[in-house]
């Protein structure tokens, strides 16, 4: 397994550097490095590494969301709070329903299977969007209206909607219709509230404990990361928005003990240098190109029309806000990448015995191949043209 980790880090690093020379985001090179090394191309990665890859990817997401929280100030949240709630729900729901209808009528899926597909693909990728938005924040793009902060907050909640609705359709298709749409929809705000409250409890406990530990910032960060991991693992078991809670932890620590955040950010930035390679390369390793090609032109059409539905949702969600036309178009572009959720749950319908499970997996994989590299490249290419850059 150590050989596999070494290969992933080395080839992912080289891939990122090569892609950077083409003026594209490094994560694209890391994704393709994972595809190349993975079981569907060269098959150079140990099976044990692939078995634990989900845990490694989750750990990387925890680190980047903790960094995101540590970079968001109270006045920024006040500025985007209401818009974030709209942009995290409407686009996801419209994209999911669009794909559900298309799969039902064009591919002869059952209603439950069409819904599974719709809300697997509807989830936007925090693995792509969050690092991109943090990078734009550092470069001061869109900071006048907090556009990156808006998308940071919206991305995590977007996934809560997608996964909750996917779970409903999965239950509908595999348990004889025992699921309740009303109960599942009602659980979404509960999941978000409990996730945020859980993060707040951890943050306030950390503030209390950190006051007893003088100057030992590395030890404090060790405790913080450990508790965050345990919180996310517990949250996954009970179905709460624990990743949103991790952002809450960072946000409240910045508010309560700002003198710690520069030390934490410096350490987390160093940790992110190699964690990002593991994250994107291991997502790439999950991609089976042959399976994606089986989805064919009709599958690609469904994904594209789903993104049209998502873009309409973004446009509606940002109506009547301070964002101008260019900024609203950027939000539409930034909300296109798929990767994390699709890699994590794309195979679940197949494992649960859904008749169209193999096709659902193929379309989930195709959505990653098409949207992750193109979406990431489009974010970086469009930001200087569509967002205002404040002086550094």
The two three-digit tokens of residue 23, written as one number: 């003026």
What was the pLDDT predicted at 177?
53
**Considering Cα of 281, then 162, then 166, then 312, what sign does the dihedral take?**
negative
What was the pLDDT predicted at 82?
81
What was the pLDDT predicted at 242?
87
Print burial letters for 65-79: b (CB count within 10 Å at least 16), e (below 16): bbbbbbbbeeebbeb
The two three-digit tokens of residue 337, written as one number: 């990448």
3-state secondary structure of 56: helix
**Considering Cα of 330, then 100, then 124, then 373, what sign does the dihedral take?**
negative
What are the extents of the domains in the chain? Answer: 57-386
The two three-digit tokens of residue 138, written as one number: 């550092």
- Number of residues that make up the chain: 392
What was the pLDDT predicted at 140?
92
Give the other-Cβ count within 10 Å of 314's Cβ. 25
The two three-digit tokens of residue 263, written as one number: 């030390």
Are 183 and 130 in contact by the 8 Å Cβ rule? The answer is no
Beta bridge partners of 389: 141
Are 169 and 110 in contact by the 8 Å Cβ rule? The answer is no
Which residues, in sequence order, are CB contacts of 85 under 8 Å at separation 6+? 157
What was the pLDDT predicted at 316?
96
Task: Please state the pTM of the whole predicted model.
Answer: 0.83
End-to-end CA gap in the chain: 43
What was the pLDDT predicted at 151?
93
Beta bridge partners of 141: 389
Q: What is the block-wise mean pLDDT of the chain (392 residues), using blocks of 10 residues?
A: 93 93 83 90 90 85 86 78 87 96 93 94 90 91 92 86 86 66 76 91 94 85 95 86 89 90 88 88 82 83 96 95 95 92 82 86 88 92 94 72
Are 390 and 148 in contact by the 8 Å Cβ rule? The answer is no
What was the pLDDT predicted at 180?
67
How much is the CA Rg of the chain, to the nearest whole Å? Answer: 20
In whole angstroms, give the CA distance from residue 94 to residue 365: 21
What was the pLDDT predicted at 276?
87
The three-point CA angle 300-291-162 to 5° equals 60
Give the other-Cβ count within 10 Å of 5's Cβ. 18
In whole angstroms, give the CA distance from residue 234 to residue 236: 5
Query: In this structure, which CATH number among 1.10.1200.10, 3.40.50.620, 1.20.1530.20, 3.90.1200.10 belongs to the domain 57-386?
Result: 1.20.1530.20
Residue with tokens 């209206």: 145
Are 138 and 69 in contact by the 8 Å Cβ rule? The answer is no
In whole angstroms, give the CA distance from residue 128 to residue 370: 13
């Amino acid at each position: 397994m150590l050989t596999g980790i070494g290969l992933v880090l080395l080839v992912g690093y080289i891939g990122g550097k090569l892609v950077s020379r083409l003026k594209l985001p490094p994560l694209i090179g890391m994704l393709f490095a994972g595809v190349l090394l993975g079981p569907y191309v060269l098959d150079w990665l140990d099976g044990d590494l692939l078995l634990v890859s989900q845990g490694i990817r989750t750990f990387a997401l925890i680190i980047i969301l903790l960094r995101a929280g540590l970079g968001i100030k109270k006045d920024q949240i006040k500025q985007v709070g209401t818009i974030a709630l709209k942009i995290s729900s409407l686009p996801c729901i419209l994209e999911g329903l669009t794909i559900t209808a298309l799969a039902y009528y064009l591919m002869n899926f059952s209603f439950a299977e069409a819904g599974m597909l719709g809300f697997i693909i509807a989830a936007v990728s925090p693995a792509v969007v969050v690092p991109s938005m943090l990078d734009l924040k550092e470069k001061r793009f869109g900071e006048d209206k907090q556009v990156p902060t808006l998308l940071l907050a919206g991305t995590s909640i977007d996934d809560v909607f997608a996964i909750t609705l996917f779970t409903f359709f999965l239950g509908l298709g595999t348990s004889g219709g025992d699921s309740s749409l009303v109960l599942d929809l009602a659980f979404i705000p509960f999941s978000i509230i409990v996730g945020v409250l859980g993060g707040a409890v951890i943050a306030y406990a950390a503030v209390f404990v950190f006051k007893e530990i003088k100057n030992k910032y590395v030890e404090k960060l060790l405790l913080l990361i450990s508790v965050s991991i345990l919180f996310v693992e517990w949250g996954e078991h009970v179905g709460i928005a624990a990743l949103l809670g991790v952002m809450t932890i960072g946000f409240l620590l910045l508010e309560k003990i700002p003198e710690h955040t520069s030390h934490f950010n410096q350490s987390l930035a160093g940790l992110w240098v190699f964690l990002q390679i593991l994250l994107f390369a291991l997502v790439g390793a999950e991609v089976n190109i042959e399976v994606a090609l089986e989805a064919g032109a009709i599958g690609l059409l469904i994904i594209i029309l789903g993104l049209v539905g998502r873009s309409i949702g973004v446009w509606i969600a940002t109506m009547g806000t301070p964002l101008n036309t260019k900024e609203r178009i950027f939000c539409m572009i930034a909300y296109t990448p798929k990767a994390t959720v699709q890699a994590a749950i794309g195979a679940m319908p197949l494992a649960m015995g859904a008749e169209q499970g193999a096709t659902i997996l193929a379309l989930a994989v195709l959505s990653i191949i098409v949207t992750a590299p193109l979406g990431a490249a489009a974010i970086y290419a469009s930001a200087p043209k569509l967002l205002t850059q404040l002086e550094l």
